[in-house]
Every structure is written in C-alpha cells, then in structure tokens.
Amino acid sequence: MPKRSAGLIMYRIRNDAPELFLVHPGGPFWARKDVGAWSIPKGEYLEGEDPFLVAQREFIEETGHHPSGSFVELAEIRQAGGKPVKAWAFRGDFDPALLVSNTFTMEWPPRSGRQAAFPEVDRAGWFGIADAREKILPSQLPLVDQIVALLNRGR
C-alpha cells in the first residue's frame, strides 16, 4: 500500500473572517523556508489504521493540543509526490505560543555521524484565507478551497 497521510485543519472566525491554523515543519531542511512551506498537522497511517484516529493523534503529537468539536470530512487530496491525504475540518482555537511538538532525530550535519533531535513542528500560526493560500504547501491548497466552500455554505 502506498504511503498515506491523515490530518486535521482547525479554523476559527475572527472579526467575521475565517482563519486557518497551520504548522511549520521543524528541522534544518525547512528552517529558512516560509512561503509554500506550512502544512496542516498530519501524519502517515498504516493499512488497517483508522485515518480519523490517526489525524487526531498526529494533531496532538504535533501541537500538544487535544482537538474537539464537530469534524467534517473533506475530500481526499494528493500531495505533489502523489501521497494521498485525508483531512477533517473543525472549529476550534489554540494559542500557538503553547505549541508542544514531538521530536525526530536525524544525522546532522550531513555525513557527520552525529544524531541531532529536532521538533517535528517548530512553530504554528493562524492565517487569514489569503495568507493561508500563500503559506501552505501548494499541493495542500485544495484543502483551503474546501474550507472556504464549507464556510460559505454555512453562512
């Protein structure tokens, strides 16, 4: 089975305008990247795992925040490398200053033989729709479009 991911996209309404909660990947590869580098909190799941439960687990692991509320399943998208991503939208709120992410280790610097730990997510933020479109990975733009459509139907 090809690699698949599942995630949650939290939104809120501020001054009658929607904002999306996005995370920035940690580690040296992403350190100087901003535009087109942000993502929804998500992670891979294995065959037989419930993608919705994985999405919730990954959200907690990457942010330290426990999502709750009503979740709306969005249409599956494909990222640039072809990986399918299932996502659910929910209304919530979270102070990005409270972000607590799990870590991963990798050899750093390359070919040094030393292992270094990095946060999976190094920062998070709330973005209006226009800013979210600029910040999010281009292959995740369809998720932003789906949130906008969902919110427009609800008005």
pLDDT digits (tens, 9 = 90+) for 12-59: 999 999 999 999 999 998 989 999 999 999 999 999 999 999 999 999
Largest CA distance in the chain: 56
Distance CA 119, CA 84 (A): 24
CATH architecture of 4-153: Alpha-Beta Complex (3.90)
* Domain layout of the chain by residue ranges: 4-153
3-state secondary structure of 88: strand
pLDDT computed for residue 151 by the predictor: 94
pLDDT computed for residue 66 by the predictor: 97
Is pLDDT at 155 greater than 80 in this prediction? no
* 132 phi/psi in degrees, rounded to 5: -60, -40
pTM beyond 0.75: the answer is yes
pLDDT computed for residue 80 by the predictor: 86
Report, as an integer, the average pLDDT of 82-104.
96
